[in-house]
Amino acid sequence: MTPEEFRKAGHQLIDWIADYRQQVETMPVRAQVNPGDVRRQLPVQPPEDPVSIDQLLEDLNSAIVPGITQVQHPMHFGWFPSNASLASVLGDIASSGLGTLGISWESCPALTELETVVCDWLRQLTGLSEKWQGTIHDTASTACLTALMVAREQASDYSQNRGGLQAETSPLIVYSTAEAHSSITKSALLAGFGSDNLRFIDVGAETKAMSASALRFAIEQDIDNNLRPAAIIASVGSTGVTAIDPVAEIAEIANEFGIWLHVDAAMAGSAMLLPECRKLWDGVENADSICWNPHKWMGTILDCSLFYVKDPELLIRVMSTNPSYLQSTVDDEVIQYRDWGIPLGRRFRALKLWFHLRLDGPEAIRQRLRRDLENANWFADQVRNTEHWQVVAPVNLQTICIRHNPHDMQGDELDAHTLAWVNSINQSGEAFMSASQLDGRWMVRVSIGVESTTREHVEALWGLIQRAVEK
């Protein structure tokens, strides 16, 4: 494809995307396909002859779009808001169009330096002090794995330079809660800690937040048993019920015992753009690393996860490589982000944050987040004030966990009722919510915060839900 051919096809694609975004509200929210449906429409043999962009866009409409669960749909209330602001989409296109190679400062100085700048802008926008330096990872999963690898090396006096974990005699311990995201367990296992050495600390019965006193007890017990506490992961906004672990108290314990504290605010980090929400991560300044995803509620298109540390030297000590072919004369003046994380080749992700922050602007983003919080409060009030309905967990941000229980149903009967009404709505394509377990029983999470979701959509959802339980 020549640049001239690209210009023509590119205009068509941009028009197609704009049309798609205008029409997404008319589509079913959940993909109305069965396993294998998408694949069956595609040829088994790879193509030999090129097709026109018109043909390709037609196939995009007929074979691909029906196989998408439309998370940009205003009636999407599932999982979490996975916003993809069009301003950030333009930045992503610019990144692809430039075709840069991020393997060293020299391979793309602008990639490195814009990353430093936008991470610092977001540091300021979320009220973090100048002590923090950030980088962009693909996902919070990678950020947590990185944090745990650094914690592991610090706690083992850099065992990687000897026999690694395999030569350690006394196990290293990681502390989190059962409410933490599944990526926390995955990271602990991938970082080599072993499931026997991952402690799920007790949580409050209502709050589902980590008990700081139980944490202290577990750490003291482990030390008495000659085990070595290495890392604590505090969740600010857990996946199930948006539980907020008490970061200030946890940080005090972490500092007292010299344990790495990683704060996972993947979803809730967006809320820190609002000064009134920052009390939720009070104490965060005393953590060792923080991660949050602009690619969730804030709406910089996936993938875009921010990872902040106070001392990048600790990352470099564990992850630096310096082969001769990557060395340059300015190495001691520049940042080499490859040494702050796992991949060598890095995308120019800073561009989508730059486009998003400059074309939409932080104030518009803040207003949208506040709108969503008000909508969540409105929805929670409707549920609380309606007979047989219950809000089953504290509403800390924009997720409301609900149950309907008309005649004192218990156990399996209640589970069957909950799954029946939520599945009937999800299958209809009219709206989408996630069912999730709380204390071993099903409830429904209503996660508000799609960019196009207004009060009218939230009202429509409440109407749908009430009709669904009548059936």
Ligand X SMILES: *Cc1c(COP(=O)(O)O)cnc(C)c1O
Which positions touch ligand X (CB under 6 A)? 80, 139-141, 181, 183, 235, 237-239, 264, 266-267, 293, 305
Q: How big is the CA angle at 232 (ends 227 and 237), to the nearest 5 degrees?
A: 155
The residue length of the chain stands at 471
In the complex, the smallest distance separating the C-beta of residue 183 from ligand X, rounded to whole angstroms, is 5
In the complex, the smallest distance separating the C-beta of residue 304 from ligand X, rounded to whole angstroms, is 9
**Based on CB atoms, which residue is closest to ligand X, 80 or 348?**
80
| Cα–Cα separations (whole angstroms), residue 235 to 319, 334, 352, 435 | 25, 33, 26, 21
**Based on CB atoms, which residue is closest to ligand X, 74 or 237?**
237
**Token pair for 316:** 């470099």
Q: Are 436 and 182 in contact (CB under 8 A)?
A: no
**Based on CB atoms, which residue is closest to ligand X, 80 or 355?**
80
Sheet holding 76-77, edge to edge: 76-77, 432-438, 441-447, 399-404, 389-391
- Number of Cβ within 10 Å of residue 167's Cβ equals 9
In the complex, the smallest distance separating the C-beta of residue 191 from ligand X, rounded to whole angstroms, is 15
**Based on CB atoms, which residue is closest to ligand X, 253 or 267?**
267
- Amino acid at residue number 49: D
In the complex, the smallest distance separating the C-beta of residue 301 from ligand X, rounded to whole angstroms, is 13
Burial class (CB within 10 angstroms; exposed 0-12, middle 13-18, buried 19+) of 40: exposed
- Region label for 208, one of left (φ > 0), alpha (ψ between -120 and 50) or beta (otherwise): left
In the complex, the smallest distance separating the C-beta of residue 397 from ligand X, rounded to whole angstroms, is 11
**Based on CB atoms, which residue is closest to ligand X, 297 or 421?**
297
In the complex, the smallest distance separating the C-beta of residue 151 from ligand X, rounded to whole angstroms, is 17
| Cα–Cα separations (whole angstroms), residue 142 to 26, 271, 304, 335, 368 | 35, 21, 11, 20, 28
**Token pair for 297:** 């509620």
**Based on CB atoms, which residue is closest to ligand X, 77 or 389?**
77
**Based on CB atoms, which residue is closest to ligand X, 156 or 293?**
293
Q: Which of these, 313, 311, 269, 339, lies nearest to 112 by C-alpha position?
A: 339
Helix, strand, coil abundance in the chain, percent, nearest 5: 50, 15, 35
Q: What is the distance between the alpha carbons of residues 236 and 248, in angstroms, rounded to a whole number?
A: 11
Q: Are 425 and 444 in contact (CB under 8 A)?
A: no
**Based on CB atoms, which residue is closest to ligand X, 232 or 468?**
232
Bridging pattern class, strands 432-438 and 399-404:
unpaired
Q: Which string of DSSP letters, residue by residue, matches 62-91?
A: IIIGGG---TTSTTEESSS-----HHHHHH
In the complex, the smallest distance separating the C-beta of residue 34 from ligand X, rounded to whole angstroms, is 26
| Cα–Cα separations (whole angstroms), residue 393 to 178, 306, 344, 441 | 16, 28, 42, 13
Q: Which of these, 360, 368, 393, 353, lies nearest to 297 by C-alpha position?
A: 368
**Based on CB atoms, which residue is closest to ligand X, 154 or 293?**
293
In the complex, the smallest distance separating the C-beta of residue 291 from ligand X, rounded to whole angstroms, is 8
**Based on CB atoms, which residue is closest to ligand X, 141 or 154?**
141
Neighbouring residues of 293: CB distance < 8 A, sequence distance ≥ 6:
139, 140, 266, 267, 269, 270, 304, 305, 306
In the complex, the smallest distance separating the C-beta of residue 399 from ligand X, rounded to whole angstroms, is 10
**Based on CB atoms, which residue is closest to ligand X, 72 or 242?**
242
In the complex, the smallest distance separating the C-beta of residue 10 from ligand X, rounded to whole angstroms, is 29
In the complex, the smallest distance separating the C-beta of residue 235 from ligand X, rounded to whole angstroms, is 6
